Structure 1
Amino acid sequence: MAAVEIYDTTLRDGTQGEGISFSAEDKVKIALKLDKMGFHFVEGGWPGSNPKDMAFFRRIKSCRLGHARVAAFGCTRRPGVTAVEDANIQSVLAAGAPVATIFGKTWDFHVLHALGTTLDENLAMIKESLAFLKSRGLTVIYDAEHFFDGFKANPAYALATLKAAAAGGAATLVLCDTNGGNLPADIAAVIRRVRDEIPLPLGIHCHNDGELAVANTLAAVEAGATHVQGTVNGYGERCGNANLCSIIPNLTLKCGHETIPRQSLAGLTELSRYVSELANMHPSSHQPFVGTSAFAHKGGVHVSAILKDTRTYEHIDPALVGNRRRVLVSELSGLSNLMYKYQELNLNLGTSSEENRRLLEEIKELEHQGFQFEGAEGSFELLLHRAYNHYREPFKLENLRIIIEMRENSPVYSEAIIKLTVGDRVVHTAAEGNGPVNALDNALRKALEEFYPAIARMQLNDYKVRVLDEKDGTGAVVRVLIESGDGERSWGTVGVSPNIIEASWQALVDSIAYGLLKSGKETKPCQSGTA
């Protein structure tokens, strides 16, 4: 199979997605990560559009890249202006990148109504812009905007724009499904037609408005494209761009094409989450290949089968893309789910079949009450330890009181007063917070930190409340999900009650207890109160 160039445009096209923004430093970090993964091109941005992108190009010059070539993005010259006089063309040159990616109009409708020029002038704009940049020593990639729509409307003119780009010195012609509305068969047919007409390498750039960007990209490659553009996690304008986290493993593992180095595939999941973190976006758990749910199994029949052979319900080994298998426990679970979790957690429980069935029924009853362990594996693991593993709770609640005071024109005052037994000592303390749950969290930590110094490293990363029975109004049962972390790992815990404070307490207690369990401190309080 042919080698396929991977061209990442997360730093430019990806940032056009709603809610996505990177600092210049973020963009440098991502570029270095992509280079380390073996990506062939990293598009840094449009230097003529904003100072941040130009700052990226200045900073990336001082970085030594081992694989990727940096590309600066821009458009063809304006109508009636020479390339040397055009500010955007000059900004691409000033960026100092070795590659220039220039887009131009290929749909006659856009040329006449959006660009407001003649069809002949547009052809000249394409040819002259590319020729100018190539004459300055740059490798030039041509992005044929709206190509597939343009080809449907006027095939002869769409092809003429590509021939103008070829005459201008384009190294690769990238056909863009800019509106994201085409189907795989249409994409493939057009790629084959262009391949027969123009003897230059072809690329594909798809948007996801019909949720077909990945399928369209794969169809284009199978039809002859050897250059693929996309973004990490599919970030991009409107519904996003083609998702490289899905395209790369499909091309490599399913289609047999050479893309990034095979050993780099194992870093794909980490790359996805790294970019999500810098974008300040919660990772999509259901994203294929790299999402936390991509290899998660819930139904008892499924789990029973994967215990025999994982190929029964997994299309690849998750380790190939750096992901891992997860078995969920819920009301749909069977004994196989529990047995898998015992093995996964290395719990030598020595339990009978009857005890297992009793625990499974308890889990199903808790789920019926509103508990959900899929996003709260910390609470679930504690449930197993409490049932079978001679687990000792790190503390015991004796008394808890929360005071909320409201005064006109004053901030709401919240205070939690708590009494706990830790080992053979009783601790009585209080703490304030900007709300009752925050005060509760502060008081709990204040009471325990002298016994369990590891708590100082734990932090609450996320707090969610879900009303389970909206029809019951303010008396409804609520589910509280908490995500916590200690800088090395993160975990989720859950609480359910008609009282939001009690539900929060349950989730907070599990959060701290699980963190101590994983740090090996759950049964060893410092009796002297020192570390």
Structure 2
Amino acid sequence: MAKVFIYDTTLRDGSQGEGISLSVEDKLKIAGKLDYLGVDYIEGGWPGSNPKDLEFFRRAKELIFKHARLTAFGSTRRPGVRPEEDANLNALLEAGVKTVAIFGKSWDFHVVEALKTTLEENLSMIRETVSYLKNKNLEVIYDAEHFFDGYKNNGEYALKTLQAAAEAGADWIVLCDTNGGSLPDEVNRIVKEVKSRIKTPLGIHAHNDGELAVANSLAAVRAGVDMVQGTINGFGERCGNANLISVIANLEYKMGYRCLPEGCLRRLTEVARYVSEIANVVLPGHQPFVGQSAFTHKGGVHVSAVLKDSRTYEHIPPEVVGNRRRVLVSELSGISNLRYKAQELDLDIPIDAPETRKVIQRIKELEYQGFQFEGAEGSLELLLRKAFGQYRQHFQLESFKIIVEKRAEQETISEAVIKIRVDDRVVHTAAEGNGPVNALDNALRKALEEFYPVIREMHLTDYKVRVLDEKDATAAKVRVLIESRDKTSSWSTVGVSTNIIEASWQALLDSMDYALLKQQKEKTAKRGLR
């Protein structure tokens, strides 16, 4: 099985993406997770460009990597400056790493217009920089910036830049599609032509401006490169870099190459979600391989087929990359969806009974009214348990009243007064909040905590409101989605009404009710283990 080396540049190229700002602590955490995944190289940053990267490399010396080689990034020497006098190169040496990546110009247009120097001086910059670093006993990766554009415009000069790096002793030469505009057939053809002229091991560094970074990376591997550079989740400037998650999954599972240590492929989903969390960027639900929706089925025909054999609508088993299959229940559902969901929730449901079809019809009616159970599985489980007599009512609402007071030059004050019944006791209490929903949440908690202390362990983590019928203006129906969390997991609930307070109450009620149901299930499970 041929080996393809994985070079991760999330901490440098990935952090150049809009909306991404990684602290030194963030970068150290991600570096540890990348080593856990098993990548071969981790590019930590450009120590000559900013104090943050200098600090990262200083602290990274304390890290012990089991697999990856930490790499520092920089450029060739400046025009007219000797390598030993170049501040950026000296910063690379001070980073204390054994591998460095140096980028240089391969496109004559860039040499003349961006660097404002001669083509010959550019070749000297490449040659002298690589030679200087090799003499310091470093592994040198030469990144040929804008190589594909340069090759298409002036192929002979672009090749001369590679030859300069090779003759100086570069360990790797990486062909960069820096503007991200090349096509897979172009990449494949050009890599083959380069490979016939350059004997140094080759790599590919593709950007995603044409949404082809992954395809171009795979095409380059087919043509003979032995290294792929990219970022986790495709983070990067403009439209991003090649998404290493998809690159690795395709290379290992579908193309027969070895990228990661044995058993590490199943860590892809965990690592993708971890990096997104640290970067404070929502992982797209539809991201291939690792997204929440990557193996999610909604249509009844699809679900029926998947239950018979998952290969009918899944290109790989989700467990291979550490993901899982999900089946949604919605207006498109059939008996198969309900059967799968019942198994998942460990519900004893008579699948072939007439009442089961009534439940499906009820779900479709509610979805027509605006409910959305695919994003509110807490409310769905409560609905199913109620329909099939597997639900215990924990409390009843007697009434609630919300008072919103606004005084001139003062903040608005919200107060909720609530009366609930728990068994034979009636509790009447009140609480204030930042707004009417927060006040209602606080009042309900205050009333329930005496009876159900577990309520103290849960909290709301997200609250979303969507207007369903914009044309009705202020009389429009709204859907409220609430996400809640306790020490072990999270769940979502939904409410729909023309009154935002009523919709919020429905979602809030389900949220509390589901927390109590969850505790009940956990107690039952513990008794079953005894």
TM-score band by shorter chain is: over 0.9
Q: Deviations over 1:429-469 (max 9, x none)?
A: 21111111111222222222222222222121211111111
TM-score by length of 2: 0.97
Q: Deviations over 1:168-205 (max 9, x none)?
A: 22111111111111110011111111111000111111
**Structure 1 residue 516, shift from structure 2 partner:** 2.2
Alignment partner, residue 290 of structure 1: 290
**Structure 1 residue 403, shift from structure 2 partner:** 1.1
Is the aligned partner of 1:179 residue 2:183?
no
Q: Distance in 2 between matches of 1:78 and 1:265?
A: 41
Alignment partner, residue 79 of structure 2: 79
Instruction: State the AA in 2 paired with 1:256.
Output: G
Alignment partner, residue 485 of structure 2: 485
Contact 1:102 1:140 in 2 (8 A): yes
Q: Pick closer, same or farther for the CA change 1:487–1:124 going to 2, 3 Å.
A: farther
What is the DSSP-based 3-state SS (H/G/I as helix, E as strand, rest coil) of the residue aligned with 1:520?
A: helix
**Structure 1 residue 42, shift from structure 2 partner:** 0.5
Alignment partner, residue 340 of structure 2: 340
Match runs of 1:166-245 below 5 Å: 166-245=166-245
**Structure 1 residue 235, shift from structure 2 partner:** 0.8
Alignment partner, residue 274 of structure 2: 274
Is the aligned partner of 1:369 residue 2:341?
no
Q: Distance in 2 between matches of 1:246 and 1:370?
A: 35
Q: Distance in 1 between matches of 2:329 and 2:168?
A: 60
Instruction: State the AA in 2 paired with 1:6.
Output: I
Q: Deviations over 1:215-268 (max 9, x none)?
A: 111111111111011111111111111111111110000000000124111111
Contact 1:392 1:522 in 2 (8 A): no
**Structure 1 residue 92, shift from structure 2 partner:** 1.1
Contact 2:306 2:313 in 1 (8 A): yes
**Structure 1 residue 523, shift from structure 2 partner:** 11
Alignment partner, residue 388 of structure 2: 388
Q: Distance in 1 between matches of 2:486 and 2:514?
A: 11
What is the DSSP-based 3-state SS (H/G/I as helix, E as strand, rest coil) of the residue aligned with 2:43?
A: strand
Instruction: State the AA in 1 paired with 2:434.
Output: N
Contact 1:513 1:522 in 2 (8 A): no
Q: Distance in 2 between matches of 1:160 and 1:487?
A: 60
Contact 1:394 1:523 in 2 (8 A): no
Q: Pick closer, same or farther for the CA change 1:477–1:250 going to 2, 3 Å.
A: same
Q: Distance in 2 between matches of 1:100 and 1:86?
A: 15
What is the DSSP-based 3-state SS (H/G/I as helix, E as strand, rest coil) of the residue aligned with 2:399?
A: strand
Q: Distance in 2 between matches of 1:307 and 1:395?
A: 38
Alignment partner, residue 161 of structure 1: 161
Is the aligned partner of 1:102 residue 2:67?
no
TM-score by length of 1: 0.96
Bigger mean CA offset, 46-55 vs 312-321: 46-55
**Structure 1 residue 351, shift from structure 2 partner:** 5.2
Q: Deviations over 1:276-313 (max 9, x none)?
A: 11111122110000000000001110011011111111
Contact 1:351 1:388 in 2 (8 A): no
Q: Distance in 1 between matches of 2:136 and 2:523?
A: 70
**Structure 1 residue 521, shift from structure 2 partner:** 6.9
Contact 2:39 2:68 in 1 (8 A): yes
Alignment partner, residue 323 of structure 1: 323
Alignment partner, residue 528 of structure 2: none
Q: Distance in 2 between matches of 1:344 and 1:521?
A: 14
Q: Distance in 2 between matches of 1:92 and 1:422?
A: 68
Q: Pick closer, same or farther for the CA change 1:327–1:68 going to 2, 3 Å.
A: same
What is the DSSP-based 3-state SS (H/G/I as helix, E as strand, rest coil) of the residue aligned with 1:241?
A: coil
Q: Distance in 1 between matches of 2:316 and 2:267?
A: 15
Instruction: State the AA in 1 paired with 2:371.
Output: F
Alignment partner, residue 495 of structure 2: 495
Alignment partner, residue 251 of structure 1: 251
Match runs of 1:103-142 below 5 Å: 103-142=103-142
Alignment partner, residue 470 of structure 2: 470
Is the aligned partner of 1:57 residue 2:57?
yes
Bigger mean CA offset, 172-181 vs 402-411: 402-411
Contact 2:339 2:351 in 1 (8 A): no
Q: Pick closer, same or farther for the CA change 1:136–1:447 going to 2, 3 Å.
A: same
Bigger mean CA offset, 82-91 vs 425-434: 425-434
Is the aligned partner of 1:423 residue 2:423?
yes
Q: Distance in 1 between matches of 2:508 and 2:167?
A: 66
What is the DSSP-based 3-state SS (H/G/I as helix, E as strand, rest coil) of the residue aligned with 1:374?
A: helix
**Structure 1 residue 167, shift from structure 2 partner:** 1.9
Q: Distance in 1 between matches of 2:24 and 2:167?
A: 35
Q: Pick closer, same or farther for the CA change 1:299–1:140 going to 2, 3 Å.
A: same
What is the DSSP-based 3-state SS (H/G/I as helix, E as strand, rest coil) of the residue aligned with 1:461?
A: strand
Instruction: State the AA in 1 paired with 2:165.
Output: A
Q: Distance in 2 between matches of 1:22 and 1:340?
A: 41
Instruction: State the AA in 2 paired with 1:331.
Output: E
Contact 1:191 1:225 in 2 (8 A): yes
Q: Deviations over 1:333-370 (max 9, x none)?
A: 11111111111111112354311110000000000000
Contact 1:392 1:523 in 2 (8 A): no
Instruction: State the AA in 2 paired with 1:185.
Output: D
Q: Distance in 1 between matches of 2:441 and 2:250?
A: 45
Instruction: State the AA in 1 paired with 2:489.
Output: R
Instruction: State the AA in 2 paired with 1:298.
Output: K
Contact 1:393 1:522 in 2 (8 A): no
What is the DSSP-based 3-state SS (H/G/I as helix, E as strand, rest coil) of the residue aligned with 2:196?
A: helix
Alignment partner, residue 410 of structure 1: 410
Alignment partner, residue 509 of structure 1: 509
Contact 2:335 2:351 in 1 (8 A): no
Instruction: State the AA in 2 paired with 1:290.
Output: V
What is the DSSP-based 3-state SS (H/G/I as helix, E as strand, rest coil) of the residue aligned with 2:26?
A: helix
**Structure 1 residue 139, shift from structure 2 partner:** 0.7
Task: Give unmatched runs, 5+ long, in structure 1.
Answer: 525-531
Alignment partner, residue 457 of structure 1: 457
Contact 1:415 1:439 in 2 (8 A): yes
Residues matched between the structures, number: 524
What is the DSSP-based 3-state SS (H/G/I as helix, E as strand, rest coil) of the residue aligned with 2:44?
A: strand
Instruction: State the AA in 2 paired with 1:492.
Output: S
What is the DSSP-based 3-state SS (H/G/I as helix, E as strand, rest coil) of the residue aligned with 1:263?
A: coil
Q: Distance in 2 between matches of 1:57 and 1:454?
A: 45
Instruction: State the AA in 2 paired with 1:98.
Output: K
Q: Distance in 2 between matches of 1:169 and 1:425?
A: 83
> Quick one: percent identity of the two aligned structures?
66
Contact 1:477 1:499 in 2 (8 A): yes
Contact 1:467 1:476 in 2 (8 A): yes
> In angstroms, what is the RMSD of aligned CA positions?
1.4
Q: Distance in 1 between matches of 2:73 and 2:502?
A: 54
Q: Distance in 2 between matches of 1:45 and 1:522?
A: 46
Q: Distance in 2 between matches of 1:136 and 1:442?
A: 64
Contact 1:104 1:143 in 2 (8 A): yes
Q: Distance in 2 between matches of 1:76 and 1:523?
A: 64
